[in-house]
Structure formats: structure tokens, C-alpha cells
Amino acid sequence: ALVGVFDVIGTIFSGWLTDRYDPRKLLFFYYGLRGLSLFLLPSILFSTMHPSTLVFIIFYGLDWVATVPPTIMLCRTILGPERATVIYGWVFAAHQIGGSIAAFGAAVLRVKLGDYAAAFYVSGAMCVITSYFVLQIAKCKDLKAMMA
């Protein structure tokens, strides 16, 4: 339940930031931090030191749905308000398909390796890679010039 409280706080704050800053840079920051937190999770869960997961819960909660406002803004800015809702619907559908593939992949890794550590590392790496690629999205004026 605590992660949900921080999720609401993080999403509202992300919406506020999205109104003021480049959504690509926000997504770079969010995905990068999410990736780093996923890299750290196995050491929190599977180590013999057993550190508190409270820091992870707060950190991950703040970042959990924070990507939604800048993603919607990118869809709206790049593709226009008349197409943004449909495009975001497809983005959301693709996200759900990717999530199911990731869950299946994590299960396979768990069966083969005995724990979920590799799944967390792969997910973390994908987030860090995504944080780089999101900066490669053309700014609105550049993209509109290419489409003209």
C-alpha cells in the first residue's frame, strides 16, 4: 500500500514537471532511475545483509507511473492533439504486451536460474537503454519539418 501512496505523489509531481520541462528529459531521468533501482533490488531482496526495502518502495513508488504524463505529452506534441489519444492507446496496449512477455521471460529465468535476480538485471538494463533512446526522439519542430 505504501508504494501506491508514493505512486500517486510521484505521478502528480510528474504532471507538474511535464508542464514545465522537456518530456524527453523527464523520461530519460525516470527510466534511468528506474533501471538503477531495479539493478539494486536483487541485492536488497537476496543478500544476507537484508537491508530495509523501505527506500526501494519509496523510490520505485515515486517513479512507478511518473512516465505517463511525459509520454502523453510527447504523443500530443509530436502527433497532434487530434491523434494523441489513439496513439497513446496503442502505446498503452504495446506496454501491456511487453509486460506480459517480460513476466513470461522472468518466469523462464526463475525456473532456469533459481531466482529472479537475472530478470531484475535484464529489466534494469532495458530501462537504462530506454533512457538513452528516449533522448533520440526528435523535438516537435524537427519532426514536423521531417514530415513536411
For residues 40 and 52, give the distance between their C-alpha atoms in angstroms, rounded to a whole number.
Answer: 12
pLDDT confidence of residue 48:
57
pLDDT confidence of residue 143:
52
Kindly report the pTM of this predicted structure: 0.84
- pLDDT below 50 — which residues of the chain? 146-148
For residues 133 and 115, give the distance between their C-alpha atoms in angstroms, rounded to a whole number.
Answer: 29
The three cell numbers locating residue 128: 537504462
Domain span including residue 80: 2-147
The three cell numbers locating residue 93: 496496449
pLDDT confidence of residue 112:
97
For residues 53 and 56, give the distance between their C-alpha atoms in angstroms, rounded to a whole number.
Answer: 5
Question: For the chain, what is the domain count?
Answer: 1
